[in-house]
Chains A and B, each alone.
Chain A
């Protein structure tokens, strides 16, 4: 078993974890309505899945399938209508924001800054939950932040301004900030959305390596069929607020199922590594 820094922090926690379940989503449902008197605008039906340390779970589905809502529920930002979400046995929604930030890091689609900041300042924000609110960064914090930048291959960006680097570089720095939180669980919402293909592959390779080395449990929301197939250990397939299937990509990627979920004709082939590959067919073929 790896002795990743995230686990070494608490000996009790690390002893209890081997390859046991770290994240457990149990029959979670949710309803969103603008007005409590009216019928909900969006519902998420009972969803369950589990994830272990070092595992990458992809929540896959078309737009408005409830992927991001599920991620918000896991992050503890929303409270489920029924069911519960446990991280190492603790209900994520009931943790204080500080404790939650020490265990769960969230990488969102877009990070907008009001005033300019340098990359290292941005990464140091990840250390906020580990200190009292009025204190100066310790040498430990600085070492952890530097290491986080190295881990995502962005050490050379340290002194650059956040609004003067490319989208791919920015995503790496945002990921580095999440790593600086030293979380048990890493949540990413469409991390590859605005990236070119090389940056997408670079980011996901880094993510796979980090999940293996540091034993993070990673949950990624995406609508990119092939990226999920290539990088996920488990896929949670969603459609219109319902969780259709949970399992390894090879068992989920069936042509009829995906055609029905994504409303488009496609073919599924299996590569030499046993992972499926999807080709979307244009309407005329």
Chain B
């Protein structure tokens, strides 16, 4: 018997944080313009000490103004999608659940696009206007997961095959609507590959990063308060209730928070797929299926995975960029098939 202790949890998280740091350094170094490690260290220290103005070289500007924001964005997107995937897997009792596979990301995309269409017609202050897209994405994600949940229910029980099929078909239906909207409308909307595949290349305002960071911490924190309830939910709702879990409350909190995380990620990066599927599986394989460990390690692991995928996307056919979602899908889709086959065996 060796139950989880805070010490072991912190140790596991710090090992992952070291890996995350190394991945960030690699991501900063590689790209269309190569940067030496020495210049990298010097410029990063200047940023840390608040002397950004002293950075004069082109390299420094590339690092601080282009690569670093993009890496931060990748971290938040990866962590959000990964925590959302972990939560959906536990709640739906389906190891193949993922925001993208279940169509939730497409729902969030559609919500965000509708918000972008509506926004110019409302006279909102710039702050509220900026929040309208994530709000639309959140509402789209919530509506989709509710629809998929009811599609997947048969005689009061969730049927995992029906659920997955329902999610995939819902996703393809919503993608079709997105295609319709995109082909009839032109203007300030971002490109099709952004909403369908996901990209991290669009720069954001500084205040948006704060909103993303705080939003992630609040939603992931809310999910983490239910970590041991989620452990018991793996055995089924009835059994969890007998062991003392307030099932309706946990379900509500986690669905809303996980939809919020999906909406958050999709509103700034489009529908990056399979992160919420691959990362929780890898972390479960390494650290076990206790959600008190799984949720934080999946968050850090998600950050690592997306930064790595984006570095590949930037460098593999440089100077042209591939959407990051294409990289995650090329790796994730075969893994999904493998996991599906293994489960059926």
Contact = CB atoms under 8 A, between A and B. Distances in A.
Interface of A: 75, 77, 96-98, 100-102, 104-106, 108, 111-117, 120-121, 124-126, 128-129, 133-134, 136-137, 141-142, 145-146, 158-159, 181
B5 A116 contact: no
A202 B234 CA distance: 29
B244 A137 contact: no
Interface of B: 1, 3-6, 90, 93, 95, 224-229, 231-232, 234-236, 238-239, 241-247, 284, 289-290, 292
Nearest to B160: A114
Contacts of A159: 1
A106 B242 contact: yes
Given A124-B3, A142-B1, A142-B3, A113 B235 contact: yes
A29 to B, nearest CB: 22
A133 B243 contact: no
Contacts of A115: 95, 234, 284, 289
A216 to B, nearest CB: 16
A187 to B, nearest CB: 9
Nearest to B234: A114
Contacts of A105: 242
Interface of A is mostly: mixed
Residue from B90, B231, B242 whose CB has the most chain A CB atoms within 10 Å: B242
A104 B239 CA distance: 12
Contacts of A75: 242
A97 B246 contact: yes
B243 A136 contact: no
B224 A134 contact: yes
B243 A126 contact: yes
Nearest to B246: A97
A44 to B, nearest CB: 19
Contact of A112 (B5, B6, B236): B236
Nearest to B5: A136
A46 to B, nearest CB: 25
A1 to B, nearest CB: 28
A159 B1 CA distance: 7
Contact of A128 (B5, B232, B238): B232
A153 B231 CA distance: 25
Contacts of B244: 97-98, 100-102, 128-129
A231 B1 CA distance: 33
A128 B239 CA distance: 12
A132 to B, nearest CB: 9
B247 A133 contact: no
Nearest to B225: A134
Contacts of A137: 3-4
Nearest to A149: B1
Contacts of A146: 1
A125 B4 CA distance: 13
A153 B317 CA distance: 62
Nearest to B93: A114
B239 A134 contact: no
A117 B232 CA distance: 11
Pairs of residues from A and B, 5 with the lowest C-beta to C-beta distance, nearest first: A129-B244, A101-B244, A115-B289, A106-B242, A137-B3
A113 B232 CA distance: 10
Given A108-B239, A142-B1, A117 B247 contact: no
A90 to B, nearest CB: 15
Contact of A101 (B6, B95, B227, B243): B243
A63 B17 CA distance: 56
A108 B238 contact: yes
Contact of A136 (B4, B225, B234): B4
B243 to A, nearest CB: 5
A112 B234 CA distance: 8
A118 to B, nearest CB: 8
A125 B245 CA distance: 11
A77 B232 contact: no
Nearest to A100: B244
Nearest to B236: A112
Contacts of A125: 231-232, 235, 243
Contacts of B1: 120, 142, 145-146, 158-159
A141 B4 CA distance: 12
A128 B232 CA distance: 9
A28 to B, nearest CB: 19
8 contacts: A96-B246, A97-B247, A101-B242, A101-B244, A108-B239, A111-B235, A128-B244, A158-B1
Contacts of B246: 96-98
Contacts of A145: 1
A121 B290 contact: yes
Contact of B234 (A77, A113, A128, A158): A113
Contacts of B3: 120-121, 124, 136-137, 141-142
B207 to A, nearest CB: 31
A120 B4 CA distance: 12
B64 to A, nearest CB: 38
Contacts of A129: 243-244
B73 to A, nearest CB: 29
A121 B245 CA distance: 17
A164 to B, nearest CB: 15
A108 B237 CA distance: 13
B228 A97 contact: no
Residue with the highest number of chain B CB atoms closer than 10 Å, among A121, A142, A159: A121
Nearest to B231: A125
Given A97-B247, A114-B95, A133 B238 contact: no
A98 B229 CA distance: 11
